[in-house]
Amino acid sequence: MSSRSLRRALSERLLGQPLPTSASQHERLPNSQAMAVLSSDALSSVAYATDQTLAVLVLAGSAALIWSLPITLAVVALVAVVVLSYRQTLHAYPEGGGCYIVARANLGSTMSLVGASALLIDYSLTAAVSLMAGTQALTSYLPSLLPWQVPIALVLLVLVGWVNLRGMSESGRLFSLPVYAFIAMVALLVGFGLVDLVLRHGFHPDPMPPVKAVAPLGLFLILRAFSSGCSAMTGIEAIANGVKVFREPSDLNARATMAAMGVILSLMFIGISLLAWMYGVDPSSSQTSMAILGQRIFGATNPLYPVLQLVTLLILMLAANTAFADFPRLGALLAVDGHLPRLLAFRGDRLVFQNGILVLIALAGLIIVFCGGDTTMAINLYAVGVFLAFSLSQAGMVRYWLRHKGPLWQQRALMNGCGAVFTSLVLLVIVVSKFSSGAWLVVLLIPLLVFGLGWIRRRYRLLEQALDIAGLPDVAGAAANVTLNSPQDPGCGPILVCLESFDRAAVAAVRQALSMSRRVRVLFVYGEHHDPVKIQADWDRLFAGQPALQFSLSPSPYASFIDPLVSMVQDVELEEPDQRLTVMMPEVIGSRWFDRYLLNQSIDVVSSALADEHSRLFTRYRHYLPV
């Protein structure tokens, strides 16, 4: 077995059989599975949002914990405003209305990049925070694992990434059970707790051990606790970003799922916060509020307690899946627009943006190691990105309704306007109250990312201009610069030119092949991002009437063109086994070191694949760019 065949067999064993692009519709999910994939982050936040609120309030002493209830209600009211606002967004953008898309269309390129930068940071932190919080749920039940928090979180990260590399339908089926099991266990916890309070406690709160105040209970502390409680809102935008995950009619299904998610999230958050106050949960404990409530309500020896901790661990682990669903999609959008390397727009054989998934694994892993498995630092960081994205998206929608109007546009503009005002105020509170606790880092990173994304786009424009075939003469007009073989000169053996794009580098490679042989065949296996009509028209304009040329333009049934191209090369070799066939590919070389990451070239992969299949001659035509 060749090394390529071995790699292929291993890939299929780990990730599954390649899926044709025609199967993309079948990879879409019903509402129940889509909620599991896209809402796990928002729903799982109730496992730590109450803890974050109490941890701030307790600085003013145990008496200040009563403020956790009005703060929870304020957060729930904000959840309602944001959910209703995003439902208006989905009405206007049925194909997906995430912050980047809305801001790009209504607020301009710079503001869209601000939103995209905030979301890239947010998704990276979401994956890390969810997995670290899941690990804390495990160590709350098994304290002996506390020294191993970071390795456990990294193992969970790799596991979630692997599941996502297998495809969307795989993750939807696998993640549905833990998400709904968590909802059921929280419902049991709240139900049993309320019954216990009524029957045995007379609905009077249990006293909490007195805690000495280290800070005064003032407006600043309450606002800081509120901003910490807003961690319950992370992941709400995921449904607006992931509309294409839903089955048709995708926009209606997304709106219904967002409403259901908002109701379930609000009820669980209110229930957990109420029980935490009534049972006098000590936020300074080494255990989470969920773990303490599970012990007191179910009993430490009741099997429901370890089940609660297990499903909490699972949903927090799977909450990272929200980031894995949306980070690669956002990266692909930015790559298509030229703000990130085009490799991030590549869909793998399982119809997922596999390079984006791999980048997210790396970024989340670095955050987990940097934070040492502690969620507090990371939560202080990613709340800024969450509410910046909320604010830009809702502000963009206000401008959308003012420009396009339509039925009920005043009411919709008012709803989005309320969302923009409230989320902007929360953003201001978060930046001020958490600036010294780590928010400054995100405030610094966002403009740096905006600059980087803008620089990549400007560089792409220069490269595209240098590769543009507009104005190129046809092969007859270029005869003065290309010495074609005479009919009597057999030249070398037949040359097979393999292309992945049709630009100046491709044209130069074909002309070079014509100068070397009078039998040149060009293979172009195109994907869904190519325009075959334009490619054929450009070919006819530049190379029509050349008897030495044979052009084959074929669609790839898969997201990758590598396997179909290698198979076609093998077929040509089998047709003429005695001929000295040369395979040629153009390689674009820019003047900057970073260009190698921007130019989406597969020449090394094709060369390796052909070598594994024992193709004899492979050559590169190097096309140097002056910019």
The pLDDT tens digits of the residues spanning 332-388 come to 889 888 899 988 887 765 567 888 899 999 999 998 888 887 777 777 677 788 889
Least confident span in 167-171, 483-487, 557-561: 483-487
Please give the residue that has the higher pLDDT: either 427 or 372. 427
User: What span, in angstroms and rounded, lies between the C-alpha atoms of 313 and 527?
Assistant: 40
Provide the pLDDT for residue 284: 64
For CATH 3.40.50, list the domain ranges present in the chain: 495-624
With a cut of 90, say whether residue 73 has pLDDT above it. yes
Range from 32-46, 245-259, 336-350, 454-468 that averages highest in pLDDT: 454-468
Q: How far apart, in whole angstroms, are the C-alpha atoms of residue 295 and residue 283? A: 15
CA distances from 56 to 281, 289, 376, 438 (A): 14, 14, 11, 15
Q: Does the pLDDT of residue 286 top 80, yes or no?
A: no
**Which pLDDT does position 27 carry in this prediction?**
53
Residues facing 261 on adjacent strands: none
Q: What percent of the chain has pLDDT over 70?
A: 85
Q: What angle do CA 384, 389, 394 make, to 5 degrees?
A: 130
Mean pLDDT for the stretch of residues 167-179? 67
Q: Which of 73, 67, 78, 81 is nearest to 219 (CA)?
A: 67
CA–CA gap between residue 414 and residue 424 (Å, rounded): 15
- Between 491 and 557, residue with greater pLDDT: 557
Taking only Cα atoms into account, the Rg of the chain, rounded to an integer number of angstroms, comes to 29
Cβ 290 vs Cβ 188: under 8 Å? no
Among 114-128, 205-219, 311-325, 462-476, whose mean pLDDT is lowest? 205-219
Q: Which residues contact 545 (CB under 8 A, 6 or more apart)?
A: 476
- Mean pLDDT over the full length of the chain: 81
Average pLDDT estimate for 33-53:
83
φ, ψ dihedrals at 63, nearest 5°: -65, -25
Backbone dihedral angles phi then psi of residue 43, each to the nearest 5 degrees: -65, -35
Q: For residue range 190-200, list pLDDT tens digits in order.
A: 999 888 877 76
Q: How far is CA 58 from CA 26, 96, 262, in A?
A: 50, 41, 28
CATH architecture group of domain 495-624: 3-Layer(aba) Sandwich (3.40)
DSSP 622: E
How far apart CA 159 and CA 70 sit, in angstroms, is 38
Tally helices (H) and strands (E) across the chain. Answer: 23, 5
Lowest average pLDDT, out of 213-217, 604-608, 612-616, goes to: 612-616
Q: How far is CA 234 from CA 90, 127, 373, 473, in A?
A: 18, 11, 19, 55
Task: Specify the domain boundaries for CATH 1.20.1740.10 within the chain.
Answer: 24-458
- Geometric angle at alpha carbon 297, from 294 and 300, rounded to 5°: 60
From CA 601, how far away is CA 597, in angstroms rounded? 9
Tokens of 453: 């994304």
214-229: average pLDDT? 82
If one counts every other C-beta atom within 10 angstroms of the C-beta of residue 147, the result is 9
DSSP per-residue string spanning 96-156: ---HHHHHHHHT-HHHHHHHHHHHHHHHHHHHHHHHHHHHHHHHHH-GGGGGGHHHHHHHH
Q: Which tokens is 496 given?
A: 């097979």
Q: Give residue 85's identity as a one-letter amino acid code.
A: S
Confidence bin at 395 (pLDDT 50/70/90): very high
Beta bridge partners of 553: 524
Give the model's confidence band at 24: pLDDT under 50 very low, under 70 low, under 90 confident, else very high.
very low
pLDDT of residue 483: 46
Secondary structure (3-state) at 523 = strand
Greatest Cα pair distance in the chain: 105
Q: Domain 24-458, CATH 1.20.1740.10 — does that match?
A: yes
Q: Please give the Cα distance from 39 to 245 (Å, whole number).
A: 12
Separation between Cα atoms, residue 393 and residue 277, nearest integer Å: 35
